[in-house]
A and B are shown apart, each in its own frame.
Chain A
Amino acid sequence: MPAGPYSDQTQWLANKDQIILRQLDDATVVFHKTSGDTHVLNFLSLAIINILSNDAETFNSAAPKILLEIGMEQDDCPIQLIKDTFLQLDDVGLIVPRVADE
């Protein structure tokens, strides 16, 4: 369940220690240790996780890097689709908003 609400300043992170990625032919399967759930990732979800595994990013800073990673333009992969995918990944706990340091 998403923790929202979020703002443009919310930074997102994919915690590498909490997930295991495995390749099955041309599909990527991910195991989320916290929930015990297994998911099949599409190429966009995988790109988001890859980008957010390196550093926490806001949506606006991550989106161009994600488009670069999947080799697509905004016309082919609308920003709204990336935003929806962020929320889906947040929903299952594969990415989380980073809590600001006190």
Chain B
Amino acid sequence: MSSVFKPVCELSINAVRSSLLEGSLELSLGVFSMRIGGTEKSLVDFLLDTYRDVPARLGPKDVTDISVNVRAPNFFRKYIRRQVIPDPGFIVPAVPLPPRLAPLAMEMGLNLSVALKCCRMTTFHAAVVGNEEGAILISAHSGGGKSTLAAALMAEGYRLYSDEFGLLDMREGLLWPHPRPVSLKAESIEVIKELSGDEWMSPTLTGTPKGDIAYRRVRPSEIDSAAVPGEAKLILFPVFSKGCNPSAKELPKAEALMKLIPSSTNYHLLGEAAFNASINMVQNARAFEITYGNVEDSLMMARDLAGKAGL
């Protein structure tokens, strides 16, 4: 077994498959190393396709930050009416999925692990993109359009830090990348396909509990920059309201802070350090609530506000 990191696409299908069966495929992306296990062919195909440029190694015995095993929920569901769940090493209320949705189970497991196990950084439920001048933190409720906006900004040349998490370092006050593929749902899939090109999209997973889902792949340049953090210069709170006129409202910093705190999964756990880091981040950024009715409007406003924030 190789202990050298190589892009997933340079590994053979058999090597990936046997490593997953052993539960010893390690992916390295930014601040987290992730050990993955699973028996499903759909998971092998997904990793070879959607994680194709991500550094991986086979069979390491080192400790990783995250470990997710995609497995059957019980003995019977391994063989009869087969199902899978993510097992991140702690009990989570996971809906059993058919084997073809093993990639979704893995993504859920990875997200839960970052959300519930990370104590090194303050985690916000947010997408983050940026350029050499700094970062844009996009915080929204589920369905608010943060992933779509992040993927649209990627098409504009911004680099992806993360689709699901703003990872705030508590000493430096910087946002760190963890660039996993961007999860897109329903109509957003076609919109981003058009902006980014088919070659950057994964096959669509149909009939998931959240409807159709496809992933926007991460670019090699974003993987190469995964160890380069950035300072938040702009914080956006997108609100989707079908058919509405686009509007942007600058938020007082205290209000921005109070909107961000509930989106953090570990703010209360980390206490004073998270408070100070969050205050410093908000202090140095401009924050806006943007209300929009379509992706073009949200992209136009984000582009304009990024310019105002010096990005």
Contact = CB atoms under 8 A, between A and B. Distances in A.
Contact of A33 (B252, B272, B279): B272
Contacts of B283: 24
B271 interface: yes
Size class of the A contact interface (CB-based, 8 Å): 10 to 19
- When A and B form their complex, which 4 residue pairs have the shortest distance between CB atoms, in order from nearest? A27-B254, A36-B268, A24-B253, A31-B275
Interface of B: 252-255, 257-258, 261, 267-269, 271-272, 275-276, 279, 282-283
A24 B275 contact: no
Nearest to B269: A36
Contacts of A36: 267-269, 271
B260 to A, nearest CB: 10
A102 interface: no
Contacts of A24: 252-254, 257, 279, 282-283
20 contacts: A20-B272, A22-B275, A22-B276, A22-B279, A24-B252, A24-B254, A24-B279, A24-B283, A25-B253, A27-B253, A27-B254, A29-B257, A31-B272, A33-B271, A33-B272, A36-B267, A36-B269, A36-B271, A38-B275, A40-B255
Contacts of A22: 275-276, 279
Contacts of B282: 24
Contacts of B252: 24-27
Interface centre among A24, A31, A37 (most CB of B within 10 A): A24
Interface in A1-50: 20, 22, 24-27, 29, 31, 33, 36-38, 40
